[in-house]
Amino acid sequence: MTEPGPAAAAKPGLNQPRPDKPDTLRLFFALWPDDTTRDALNRTGKWLHQHWGGRRMHADTLHLTLAFLGSTPAGQLDDLAACADTVRADAFELALDRPGYWRHNRIGWLGASRTPPQYAELASALNAALQAAGYSIDARPQVPHVTLLRNTAGGEPPACVPVCWSVGDFVLAASRTEAEGARYEVIRRWRLT
């Protein structure tokens, strides 16, 4: 039997990290819009951009965060999925009808003037499961919103057409930063009843 040469030893193996498999992922749970909802959110983003300026979010990145985990070891994906598997929640209708602006981080967003109880139950159940598994969660009250603009001057919120979203599932997603901005990948989905 011959010993592997230097070229063979340089290839990623069982004990070496693979360049295409990151050790950590920037993860979050979210509501992910269907195509129709995404188009409506994107139109609202264009409308707000005309009034407030800033940098519009890419249409394919629009989402509503339920729980932000941040930099997480890739090996914990199964644990996170197990947390989400325990969540039982009903599907619901979400009316995003209130544009807003946060001066401290210069974000323009579209939120709900009325939070459906099913949304609160979903967010609460998911965060409780994550906390029980040892993940740190943001204890602040949930403010359901979709970020549409970054680095915006903001101003008086203009009236806009409400976006009606039939929420039927939630996702675990990963974020990676590229030169043109953040890109997101849905890792797994969970249906709501």
Pick the catalytic residue from 49, 51, 58, 63: 63
* Amino acid letter, 164: C
How many whole angstroms separate alpha carbon 89 and alpha carbon 128? Answer: 13
CA contacts within 13 A on the Cβ side of 191: 1
Q: What is the dihedral of CA 11, 184, 50, 55, to 10 degrees?
A: -40
Pick the catalytic residue from 51, 58, 104, 145: 145
Active site annotation includes 58: no
How many whole angstroms separate alpha carbon 144 and alpha carbon 111? Answer: 6
Number of helices and strands in the chain (H, E): 4, 10
DSSP state of 98: E
Q: Comparing C-alpha atoms, which of 60, 178, 170, 182 is closest to residue 122?
A: 170
Active site annotation includes 104: no
Catalytic positions, written as ranges:
63, 145
